[in-house]
Structure 1
Amino acid sequence: MHESATDIMTILPSDAAKEVYETAVSHRDETEDLRRLAPKLVDHIKETGLFRLGLPRFLGGWEDNPVELLKSYEVLSSSEAAVGWSVWNNHLACTFGRYLDEDSMREIYNDPSHVYANSARPEGVAEIVPGGYNVSGRWTLVSGCQISDWFVLRCLVTGKGLPSTLGPGANLKLFFIPREAIEIIDTWHVGGLRGTGSHDVKVDNHFVKEAYAVDFDSPVAIDNPYSRLPIGCLNAAGNAAIALGIFKAAMDDLIRICFEKITPGKNPDLRDRDRIQSVVAKSKTLLSSMRCQLHNSVSVLWDESVNGNTYTDKQLADVWSASIQAATTARSMVTEIYAAAGTVSLYTENKIERAHRDVHAVLQHGIVQPHWMNQAGMAYLGIKPKGAMFRI
Structure 2
Amino acid sequence: MTDVAVLPLKPDPLAQARKIGPSVGAVADEIEATQEIPEPVVTALHESRLFRMLLPRSVGGDQVEPWTYLRAVEEVARHDGSVGWNVFVSNSSALIAPFIPIDSARAIYGDPRGLVSWGPPNQHRAIATAGGYRVTGEWHFSSGRRQASWIGVHCQVIEPDGSLRLNRFGRPTVRTLLMPKEQTTAIHDWHTLGMRGTASEGYSVRDVFVPEAFSGTREDPTLRRDRGPLYAFTMQGLYAVGVAGVALGIARAMLEAFVALAAEKAPRYQGRLADNPAVQSDFARHEAALGASRAYLVEVLEEAWESADDVEPLEARQRARVRLACSHAIQNALDVADRVFKATGTSAIFLGTPFERRFRDIHTLSQQIQSRDAHFEAAGRVLLKGDPDGTFMG
Mark yes or no: TM-score above 0.5. Answer: yes
Structure 1 counterpart of 2:138: 138
Which stretch shows the higher mean deviation, 33-42 or 193-202?
33-42
Q: CA deviation at 1:307?
A: 7.5
- What amino acid maps onto 2:34 in structure 1? L
* Residue 236 of structure 1 pairs with residue 251 of structure 2: no
Structure 2 counterpart of 1:89: 89
Aligned length in residues:
381
- What amino acid maps onto 1:162 in structure 2? S
Q: Give me the whole-angstrom Cα distance separating, in 2, the residues matched to 1:9 and 1:84.
A: 25
Q: Is the 8 A contact 1:378 1:385 kept in 2?
A: no
* Residue 261 of structure 1 pairs with residue 262 of structure 2: no
Which stretch shows the higher mean deviation, 14-23 or 154-163?
154-163
Structure 1 counterpart of 2:4: none
Structure 2 counterpart of 1:76: 76
Q: Is the 8 A contact 2:185 2:204 kept in 1?
A: yes
Q: Secondary structure at the match of 1:151?
A: strand
- What amino acid maps onto 1:29 in structure 2? D
The change in CA–CA distance for 1:309 and 1:162 in structure 2 (over 3 A counts) is closer
Q: Give me the whole-angstrom Cα distance separating, in 2, the residues matched to 1:86 and 1:347.
A: 26
Provide the identity percentage.
26
Structure 1 counterpart of 2:190: 188
Instruction: Give the TM-score, by structure 2 length.
Output: 0.90
Q: CA deviation at 1:41?
A: 2.0
Q: Give me the whole-angstrom Cα distance separating, in 2, the residues matched to 1:387 and 1:338.
A: 41
Structure 2 counterpart of 1:36: 36
Q: Is the 8 A contact 1:253 1:350 kept in 2?
A: no
- What amino acid maps onto 1:374 in structure 2? E
Q: CA deviation at 1:53?
A: 1.5
* Residue 368 of structure 1 pairs with residue 371 of structure 2: yes
Q: CA deviation at 1:274?
A: 4.0
Q: Give me the whole-angstrom Cα distance separating, in 2, the residues matched to 1:144 and 1:66.
A: 21
Q: Is the 8 A contact 1:279 1:337 kept in 2?
A: no
Structure 2 counterpart of 1:122: 122
**Unaligned stretches of 5+ residues in structure 1:** 1-6
Task: Give CA deviations for 1:324-343 in whole Å, capped at 9, x if unaligned.
Answer: 11101111111111011100
User: Superposed, which structure 2 residues align to 1:157-306 within 5 Å?
Assistant: 157-159=157-159, 160-163=161-164, 169-215=171-217, 216-217=219-220, 219-262=223-266, 266-305=269-308
Stretches (4+) displaced over 6 A: 306-309
Q: Give me the whole-angstrom Cα distance separating, in 1, the residues matched to 2:83 and 2:9.
A: 18
**Unaligned stretches of 5+ residues in structure 2:** 1-6
User: Superposed, which structure 2 residues align to 1:309-328 within 5 Å?
Assistant: 311-328=314-331
Which stretch shows the higher mean deviation, 308-317 or 293-302?
308-317
Q: Secondary structure at the match of 2:230?
A: coil
Q: Is the 8 A contact 2:254 2:355 kept in 1?
A: yes
Task: Give CA deviations for 1:79-118 in whole Å, capped at 9, x if unaligned.
Answer: 0001110010011110011100111111121111122212
The change in CA–CA distance for 1:210 and 1:15 in structure 2 (over 3 A counts) is same
- What amino acid maps onto 2:39 in structure 1? P
Q: Is the 8 A contact 2:248 2:330 kept in 1?
A: yes
The change in CA–CA distance for 1:229 and 1:169 in structure 2 (over 3 A counts) is closer
Structure 2 counterpart of 1:3: none
The change in CA–CA distance for 1:352 and 1:328 in structure 2 (over 3 A counts) is same
Task: Give CA deviations for 1:334-373 in whole Å, capped at 9, x if unaligned.
Answer: 1111011100011233322111111111121112312221
Structure 1 counterpart of 2:3: none
Q: Secondary structure at the match of 1:120?
A: coil
The change in CA–CA distance for 1:60 and 1:381 in structure 2 (over 3 A counts) is same
The change in CA–CA distance for 1:389 and 1:147 in structure 2 (over 3 A counts) is farther
Task: Give CA deviations for 1:189-243 in whole Å, capped at 9, x if unaligned.
Answer: 1121110001111111110001112112372222233233322222112211111
Task: Give CA deviations for 1:283-337 in whole Å, capped at 9, x if unaligned.
Answer: 1110111010011111111112278776332222211111111101111111111
The change in CA–CA distance for 1:82 and 1:195 in structure 2 (over 3 A counts) is same
Q: Secondary structure at the match of 1:112?
A: coil
Q: Give me the whole-angstrom Cα distance separating, in 1, the residues matched to 2:13 and 2:390.
A: 31
Task: Give CA deviations for 1:168-202 in whole Å, capped at 9, x if unaligned.
Answer: 95342111111111111110111211100011111
Structure 2 counterpart of 1:4: none
Q: Is the 8 A contact 1:36 1:194 kept in 2?
A: no
The change in CA–CA distance for 1:308 and 1:174 in structure 2 (over 3 A counts) is closer
Which stretch shows the higher mean deviation, 253-262 or 214-223?
214-223
Instruction: Give the TM-score, by structure 1 length.
Output: 0.91
CA RMSD of aligned residues (A): 2.3
The change in CA–CA distance for 1:200 and 1:308 in structure 2 (over 3 A counts) is closer
